[in-house]
């Protein structure tokens, strides 16, 4: 997931139609969780910076979606001159992460805070994704990204990743540190993301003798 409010810097001007759309969508999700526990699926920064208290958490996997460092960031992990990258949940495959349960008494407050963090503008598509827990299957809130979004990077060449890891920095730090923190947190949870490990090798190439 993105850092707070980064989606607002993705080239989507704030207007009354977008604000009304987001407000209506939030109302729908609030109504769906009214009086119930809230489950949230964390797959990137929510693993190391959830910003809410969960009553329980479990390793889980969602099917039909995969984690990818393929969303442009022009504020928090990059700039308009040198855009950075943040993670998105894209269609296809599967994704290991953590399912967090928020007690019903705090669910609405946490949902609104998550919305402010991930949905300031029309970038992510929120979804209820099924995942297994020791208590049985639940539906967890996850913020996904359609490939039709202008914030979706598509396939980038290795040289572009090297440049981004070496240069992209925003108000919350560098893309490199963000990706590394996510990778380290995944490893701490016992999750191995080979695709991310391969990308991070580009981040280390500038330290090799060949790049000196």
Residue 175, pLDDT > 60, answer yes
Mean pLDDT for 46-74 is 95
In this prediction, residue 14 carries a pLDDT of 44
pLDDT tens digit sequence for 133-159: 998 999 999 999 999 999 999 999 999
CA distances to 97, 101, 122, 134 from 7, rounded to whole Å, are: 22, 25, 8, 34
Whose tokens are 């022009």? That residue is: 74
Closest CA to 38 of 142, 141, 143: 141
Q: Where are the domains of the chain?
A: 6-205
Per the model's pLDDT, the better-predicted residue between 137 and 207 turns out to be 137
pTM for this structure? 0.84
Half-sphere CA count of 211, side-chain side, radius 13 A? 12
- What stretches of the chain adopt beta strand conformation (E)? 38-42, 56-73, 84-102, 125-133, 136-144, 169-170, 173-174
pLDDT tens figures, 82-105: 999 999 999 999 999 999 999 999
Residue 3 pLDDT grade (very low, low, confident, very high; cuts 50, 70, 90): low
What would the CATH number be for the domain defined by 6-205? 3.10.490.10
What is the rounded average pLDDT for all residues in the chain?
A: 87
Highest mean pLDDT pick, 8-12, 50-54, 117-121: 50-54
Report the pLDDT value the prediction gives residue 4, as an integer from 0 to 100: 43
């Amino acid at each position: 997931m993105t850092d707070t409010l980064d989606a607002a810097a993705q080239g989507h001007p704030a207007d009354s139609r977008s604000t009304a759309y987001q407000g209506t969508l939030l109302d729908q999700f609030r109504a769906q969780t009214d009086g119930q526990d809230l489950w949230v699926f964390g797959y990137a920064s929510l693993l190391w910076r959830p910003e809410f208290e969960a009553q329980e958490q479990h390793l889980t996997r969602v099917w039909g979606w995969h984690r990818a460092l393929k969303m442009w960031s022009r504020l928090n992990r990059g700039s308009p001159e040198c855009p950075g990258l943040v993670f998105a949940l894209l269609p296809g495959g599967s994704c290991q992460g953590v399912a967090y349960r928020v007690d019903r008494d705090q669910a609405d407050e946490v949902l609104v805070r998550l919305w402010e963090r991930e949905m300031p503008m029309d970038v992510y598509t929120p979804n209820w994704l099924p995942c297994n827990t020791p208590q049985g299957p639940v539906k967890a809130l996850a913020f996904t990204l359609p490939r039709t979004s202008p914030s979706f990077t598509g396939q980038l060449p290795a040289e572009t990743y090297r440049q981004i890891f070496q240069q992209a920095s925003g108000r919350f730090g560098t893309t490199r540190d963000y990706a590394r923190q996510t990778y380290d947190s995944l490893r701490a949870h016992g999750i191995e993301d080979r695709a991310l490990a391969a990308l991070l090798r580009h981040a280390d190439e500038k330290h090799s003798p060949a790049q000196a």
